[in-house]
Amino acid sequence: MSLDLIVKGGTLPDGRNADIGIAGGRITAIEPKIESEAGRVVDATGNLVAPPFVDPHFHMDATLSYGIPRINASGTLLEGIALWGELKPLLTHEAVRERALAYCDWAVSMGLLAIRTHVDTCDDRLLAVEALLDVKKSVAPYIDLQLVAFPQDGFYRDPTARENTIRALDMGVDVVGGIPHFERTMADGRRSVTELCEIAAERGLMVDMHCDETDDPQSRHIEQLAYETQRLGLQGRVAGSHLTSMHSMDNYYVSKLLPLIAEAEVSAIPNPLINIVIQGRHDTYPKRRGQTRVPEMLKAGIRVGFGQDCVLDPWYPLGTADMLDVAFMGLHVAQMTSPADMAQCFRMVTETNAAIMGLDHLGIEVGKTASLVVLEAGNPVEALRLRANRLCVIAKGKVVAERSSSAAKLDLPGRPKTVDRRHRLQN
Ligand SMILES: [Zn+2]
């Protein structure tokens, strides 16, 4: 049988060396040596061949808007939300679409081939919703884009948010979002979790809420989210994003909370780059990190991914669509530096994030969609250390991005002519 593509000689994340055969957009063979004819051969010898990066938490309606109409001077979440409020009336369909498509180009170049983006539904025009539904269609041949209806200004706090969020779902937005900690009272926040979960249950949709994105140890909407998930039979379809208040909660309470989250099969999506810069802003010293309790949740059997959240927008002045940056920051803040923990962090931004989004078709297995990335690294931990070059990105069976090696030429007396920062551990 003739193949469309063979990826030859790469190392898989589990350490196996294998050739990968691709035909009709699917992986058709994973074997030590594939000898068939192929339309194209990608030589991955000595490099890591991994499933694509997946980002389960992003804001594509705001991305690449940094500085419009001004920058966030305090760096806080609340000024970011206020600034986004100033920018919103200035948005046009075309501008949102163009920025989102530009971001998707960056994503593809970094091997990031599935993204869940929240889209603000607190705008009577629902202009960003329309623009991102458009973008979703345009990028479908290479990116799985999932949209979350996100009532950014509060499902109850904003006078038309409820109605507009439901309209957005009617228009085809995939996931139900929320922001309970931004409602006027704790009770309203709790009520919003209940109603939004009921809407998702009625429509058979997934839920992903910004939940307890605060340093307030009393912000406990995750408890309600776990409760509603169980009550409504939504197990495995619900995610709590951020959960930063858990960083500041009392240990005794957390010891009760984690098993409840695990039982309800609610996933957690911390966003390390953003949590580390936004949380703790009201502290002097010691200053809280604000990232949720990642190792403890993993130990409790909770599915935890890592999201990127923001790139060049009212909340974050940096970012490059690189999920290795996200995992790199996440493992530092969570102090997950053992080899096994670091390998897990790599899986979190690939396999786990895909599972959170319900994307069963991704992964390196025969029969799955042929979306892969060739990284200039020997293994996942080295990929993290180097934030490795993406040498070749394959989306749905087609090479969509390529780059050459990052080895630098050297001109030093008595030293080699090139330098390559790859490093084999000696034992
Ligand atoms: Zn967010």
Residues 208-241: tens digit of each pLDDT: 999 999 999 999 999 999 999 999 999 999 999 9
Catalytic hit among 213, 223, 228, 351:
213
Annotated active-site residue 213? The verdict is: yes
Ligand 1 centroid, distance to 409 Cα (angstroms):
41
Helix axes 221-231, 251-263, angle to 10 degrees: 30
Q: What is the CATH number of domain 3-51+364-409?
A: 2.30.40.10
Ligand 1 mean position to 16 CA, how many Å? 36
- How much is the pTM? 0.97
Neighbours of ion ligand 1 (CB under 5 A): 309
DSSP string, 90-133: G--HHHHHHHHHHHHHHHHHTTEEEEEEEEE--STT-HHHHHHH
Whether residue 173 contacts residue 148, with contact meaning beta carbons closer than 8 Å, is answered with yes
In the chain, the percentage of residues whose pLDDT exceeds 70 is 99
Distance 375 CA to ligand 1 centre (A): 28
* Confidence band, pLDDT 50/70/90 cuts, at residue 427: very low
SS3 385: helix
**Where in 190-281 does DSSP place strands (E)?**
206-211, 238-242, 267-269
| 362 C-alpha to ligand 1 centroid (Å) | 24
What spacing in Å lies between the alpha carbon of 337 and ligand 1's midpoint? 26
Residue 79 tokens, joined: 């000024």
**Residue 301 confidence (pLDDT) above 50:** yes
| Structural domain spans, the chain | 3-51+364-409, 53-356
* Third-level CATH fold of 53-356: TIM Barrel (3.20.20)
For the stretch 315-368, pLDDT in tens is 999 999 999 999 999 999 999 999 999 999 999 999 999 999 999 999 999 999
Residue 8 has pLDDT above 90, yes or no: yes
- The CA 318 to ligand 1 mean position distance, Å, reads 15
Instruction: Give the pLDDT confidence score for residue 316 in this predicted structure.
Output: 95
